[in-house]
Amino acid sequence: MEEQKSVNFMRLLSEESTQSTVSSDSCEYYQMEIFDLLPSVQASRPEPSRSVEQGGAESQARLGHGPLSQGPRDKASTQPLRNLALCMQGKRAARDMRKMQISSIGFWKSWRQSQSTNMKRLWEQMGSAVAGLLPWRHTLHRIEGRFGVGVKAYFVFLRYLVFLNLLHCALTAGFILGPTLVYGRGNDSKPLTFESNDSVLDFFLGSGYLDRSPVFFGYYTRGSLDQKCLNTPLLYFIGILTILFLSLIMVVRRTTVGYKHTQMLGKRYSTNLCYKILCGWDFTIQDPAGAVLKQSFIRNDLRLFLEEQSFSLREAQRTLGQKVRLCLLRLALNLMVLSLLGGAFYFIYFSTEISLHEDGHHWLLSLFLQYLPPMTITFVNLVLPHIFRKISSFEDYSVTTQVNVTLVRSIFLKLASLGIYLFFILTNTKNEQHHCRENQFGREMYKLCIFNFLATFSSVFLLNFPRKLVQEWYPSSAVARRLGKQHFLIPFNVLDLVYGQTVSWVGVYYCPLLPLIGTVTLVATFYIKKFSVLRCCVAEHRMFRASSSSVFFHFMLLLGLLLAGVTLGFNLRQQEDRNTSPCGPFPGDQTVLKVTETCVGSLPSMVQTILRYLASEAFALPLILAEIIILTSYVSRGRANQKAIDRLKDMLVMSSSDKVFLVRQHATLLRGQRKRQRVAQDAPVLQQRDASS
Above 80 in pLDDT, residue 6? no
Q: How confident is the model over 442-454, as a mean pLDDT?
A: 89
Residues contacting residue 239 through CB under 8 Å, at least 6 positions apart = 171, 172, 174, 175, 176, 512
Q: Which of helix, strand or coil describes residue 491?
A: helix
The C-alpha atoms of residue 116 and residue 122 are separated, in whole angstroms, by: 10
Q: Which pLDDT does position 133 carry in this prediction?
A: 67
In the DSSP assignment, the letter for residue 21 is -
Is the pLDDT score of 8 beyond 60?
Answer: no
Quote the CA–CA distance of 276 and 285 in Å, as a whole number: 16
Q: Is the predicted pLDDT of residue 260 greater than 60, yes or no?
A: yes
In this predicted structure, the answer to whether residue 167 has a pLDDT above a threshold of 90 is: yes
CA triple 116-121-122, angle to 5 deg? 95
The torsion angles phi and psi of 357, rounded to 5 degrees, stand at -110, 15
- pLDDT tens, position by position, 398-442: 776 777 788 788 888 888 888 888 888 877 765 555 567 888 888
Express each pLDDT in 215-227 by its tens digit. 888 888 877 777 8
Check whether 166 has a pLDDT greater than 90: yes
pLDDT per position as a tens digit, 295-319 = 766 776 677 677 777 888 888 888 8
What gap in Å lies between CA 2 and CA 48, rounded to an integer? 25
Contacts of 247 (CB under 8 A, 6+ apart): 164, 168, 505, 561
Whether the per-residue pLDDT at 525 is higher than 90: the answer is yes
Of 47-51, 95-99, 336-340, 356-360, the poorest mean pLDDT is in 47-51
Q: How far apart are CA 354 and CA 373, in angstroms?
A: 9
User: Residue 22: pLDDT band by 50, 70, 90 thresholds?
Assistant: very low
Residues 351 and 420: their CA atoms lie apart, in Å, by 12
The more confidently predicted of residues 103 and 519 is: 519
- Alpha carbon distance 505, 474 (integer Å): 45
pLDDT at 41: 67
- Give the whole-number percent of the chain exceeding pLDDT 90: 11
Res 367 pLDDT > 60: yes
- pLDDT beyond 50 at 27: no
Whole-model pTM above 0.75?
A: no
Residues composing the chain: 693
520 neighbors 169 (Cβ within 8 angstroms)? no
Q: Tell me the average pLDDT across 458-480.
A: 86
pLDDT higher at 431 or 261: 261
What confidence score (pLDDT) does residue 681 get?
81
More confident site: 554 or 70: 554
Q: What is the pLDDT of residue 264?
A: 54
pLDDT band at 71 (very low <50, low <70, confident <90, very high): very low
Model pLDDT, residue 14:
41
Query: pLDDT tens digits, residue range 593-638?
Result: 888 888 888 888 888 888 888 888 888 888 899 989 998 998 898 8
What is the band of 16 on the pLDDT scale with cuts at 50, 70, 90? very low
Query: In the prediction, which pLDDT does 517 show?
Result: 93
- The answer to whether the beta carbons of residues 625 and 618 sit under 8 Å apart is no
Q: What is the pLDDT of residue 88?
A: 81
**What is the crossing angle of helices 149-172 and 232-265, to 10°?**
160
pLDDT-wise least confident of 49-53, 173-177, 668-672, 681-685: 49-53
Spell out the domain ranges in the chain: 2-133, 137-358+370-392+403-615, 635-692
Per the CB < 8 A criterion, the answer to whether 301 and 543 are in contact is: yes
Asked if pLDDT for residue 519 goes beyond 80, the answer is yes
CA 217/CA 28 separation, integer angstroms: 85
Give 82-124 as a DSSP string: GGSS--HHHHHHHHHHHHHHHHHS-HHHHHHHHHHHHHHHHHH
pLDDT score recorded for residue 245: 93
Output the pLDDT for position 170. Answer: 93
The pLDDT of 347-360, averaged and rounded, is 77
DSSP calls for 384-395: HHHHHHHHHTTT
Other beta carbons within 10 Å of 443: 23
pLDDT score recorded for residue 172:
92
Mean pLDDT, residues 441-468 taken together: 89
What would the mean pLDDT of 552-576 be, rounded to a whole number?
85
- Across the strands, what pairs with 231? 226
pLDDT at 46: 57
- Please tell me which residue, 92 or 101, carries the higher pLDDT value: 92
Confidence band for 28, pLDDT divided at 50, 70 and 90: very low
pLDDT at 113 over 70: yes
**Is residue 230 a contact partner of residue 468, using CB atoms and an 8 Å limit?**
no
User: How far is it, in rounded angstroms, from Cα 567 to Cα 559?
Assistant: 12
Rounded Cα distance between 298 and 277, Å, is: 8
Which is higher by pLDDT, 342 or 262? 342
Q: What is the mean pLDDT of the chain?
A: 77
CA distance 21 to 679: 14
Higher pLDDT, 225 or 530: 530
